[in-house]
Structure 1
Amino acid sequence: MTRFAIIDIETTGIQFKQGKITEIAILIYQNGQIVDQFESLINPETSIPFEITRITGITNEMVEQAPKFYEVAKKILEITHDAIFVAHNVQFDYSFVKEEFSALGYSFSRKKLCTVQLSRKHFPGLKSYALGNLIKHFNIEVTDRHRAYQDAMATSKLFHLILHANDHATDFMNQLVSNVKDAKLPGSLKREDVDAIPDEVGVYYMCNEAGDYVYIGKSINIRERIYQHFSETGYKVSKMLRQVHRIEYTLTGSELMAQLLESSEIKKYGPEINRAQRSSKDQYAMYRTLNDLGYFQYLIKHKEWLDEKADVVQLFSSQKKASEYLDYLIHEYHLCEQVNSLKKNEQLPCYRYQIGICLGACAGQETKESYNERFEIMHQKINRFFQRNFILYDKGRSESEVSVFVIENGFCNAIGYLDKDISYEQPEVLKESLKSFRGNIETNGIINQYIKKHPSLKKIYF
């Protein structure tokens, strides 16, 4: 039987791009009754304007100790799974929920129904279709307007009236559900094949007819995420519909493991659709390499021409900004312009050597070994998120194991899974049971953000 998730939210404003959710209520309507529900205040991590508090009664003090959205996100996904998203003016509620998930790097997608539109169709001629007016018109009992649970309950009663406004309520509901847009799959993919994909955390690989990966993604629910892709519109989805012939997946148990695996796999395989959707904001990369003489140097290149395995230090919105930062590093760390190929003059030492900033690699006064040693120290310093070595533990793929991440000398260098009941005294012994991993500035950011969102994760320093 069809499940309907009747949802109401309270927010800090009316624009979903600027506002945040302060309260959410979800009522699962099935077979004419409420069979499940979830409600919670949410800490918006921003101040609630006075005029909003005046309307909703929700104060900054009320949400101060409330969970942040990411802490209730999994519950929202679970309770709305396979349900149609129903709300009064559904685009408002749906846009806010979708935007909150987007901020977490997740694309939320559900079929939608709007009780405003349904009310106009089935109860024509009313002066207003605002929820307050419909509550009065149908004598719907509400104790506390403009609070999520009470408004969701009122919407559920209105929805029940709509379904039973027709003499053939069951036929009407079936017709209603059939009219809601469903996901369209590529011709070579069978729905039962996608249904067989687990609704668990992992990485998925979309393959073309030749078996090449054209898109790699991660999700806390890979089956649901795949369906979301094909229910969306746009250039990326049209390419998927044309090219995807098969979907592979790897379960990770840990969301962090999925994020790191996705990052490394995209770098390894360079899938076509992933490349096409790269952010246009930061187009220039500064990366480390060796010059022809064996000296370390930083070069700047447009991302389009960058090798996927390049040791990227930082991304920039323009070549000018990248060059300015590189110039700062050369000055601050007494590097050589000639060695770094900024200003090449084989006949003369660089200008910075003449004024006492460069230590003389271009004049035979500093050895390659000394220069590269100083360069490496600088490289580690500007890239280092983590000042101490530690082992991080997260969920495994089953109850009997844990996922493990070793962060050493500022970067993650080993990942994998261990038996939960086996203890390892020394990090080097532990690492023998893991896979080596090449951490970089991007994966440091991923790990850092994950730890911030999950501060209770077990960490052992060494």
Structure 2
Amino acid sequence: MNQLFAIIDVETTGGGIAGNRITEICITLLRGAEFIDKFTTLVNPEKPIPTHITALTGIDDVMVENAPKFYEIAEKIEEFTKDAIFVAHNVSFDYNVLRNEFKLLGYSYNRKKLCTVRLSRKLIPGMLSYSLGRLCSTINIPHFNRHRAEGDVDATVVLFQRLLSLDEDFSVFNSFLNPRSKQATLPPHLAAEQINELPNEAGIYLFKNQKHQVIYAGKAINIKKRVLSHFYDKKSKEYHLGQETHFIDYEVTGNELLALLLESEHIRKHYPKFNRAQKWPVSTYQIISYVNQRGIIQLALGKARVSQDSVSTFYNRTEATEKLEKICEDFKLCPRYCTLQSNVEVCSHYRIKNCDGICEGTETVEEYNAKVKAAIKSFQEEKPSFAIQGKGRTENEISFALVRDGQYKGFGYFDRSEAICDIQDYEPFLKLQNATYHTHAIIRSHLKKHGKKNVLHFNTPVEYN
């Protein structure tokens, strides 16, 4: 076989793809399985090398002080690897770092590439680990001077030669070199079978690391298509996500609404490393009621997670304050005893002027409390109970998201043959979930977009505004 292969390893300063500069590079050139030439050198990265990188590689600022800068060896690398297939253990890392170095000089660097991690998973299946050190140890390949470019390249060369010998008709290699093949874009630690098993249906997917910890949760109308789009994306975040992904789990939901709600629950539960949206907790504001020393029922705005005496809960302080002001005005309550004013004996609110005089003693406690109780009752009447029904996971199934007394309770599925007439009928099929600001926003957005379609109400109609 006359094909040229450039077996490459780079050591770097660490950091994101854009700021990762080379400190050492080694390239061994093979024609087929036969050694042709080798090039290796330290490289001055033109930036300090972090101490944790020095601890790993042994390369420090003094060692690279008089080494050539990348622009001084760029032409050599270009010529040395010309017409060769770029080969590395976890090739995306070395290839992207090298391409970025050329990009900084204003040049493009493009080569066909092969990953010995992915080739090993295919040709040497069943290994506990495919890291270079573990793999070499398991299959008895000498690996000296680890985490240095030449030491890692020497071990990768022997591994590559062994992989070539295991693929006599070159069919596996050709499948990996096919630009339309998923093998060319998949992360190094992810088995292609996991991608093949993904459904083309709506639901959620979970990227997990080597310890099966969830590092990213996503939702999709088409799970397989959305998962693959992560690996086609060249952004630094997506690259690092791919590097840490070893497993993918999924759950079909049947429709987008349930996918959004379930995604939100997984983000809340697992706090995944690569999710940004929905990770930060949103403050909950509640209008609460209590009886003061004069026996007057007071209303107040509190910031709390749970309150047994909560009259109503909001996820926005402005919205909660406006609501408190409105009921104060509508029911002729006192701004002072609705905690809209403090440190005053007699209320003098800038807008609410219709207090009947409880603060001045011209209204009895009994009369005032009756109005407060009427206001609280109005809150209860404003809390709707309804179910949003939708497409299930199969043709004979119906999905639902349930809201009771204004609060999201969870979701579930039932067979079309079930007789569902009242809210209690959903209970046997309900999977309880946590109500949060995000579930509130998801349901509110769905109602705004779709209106009353497939919404079954069980008491006061809900407002879509």
Q: Normalising to structure 1: TM-score of the pair?
A: 0.43
Larger Rg: 2
Q: Normalising to structure 2: TM-score of the pair?
A: 0.43
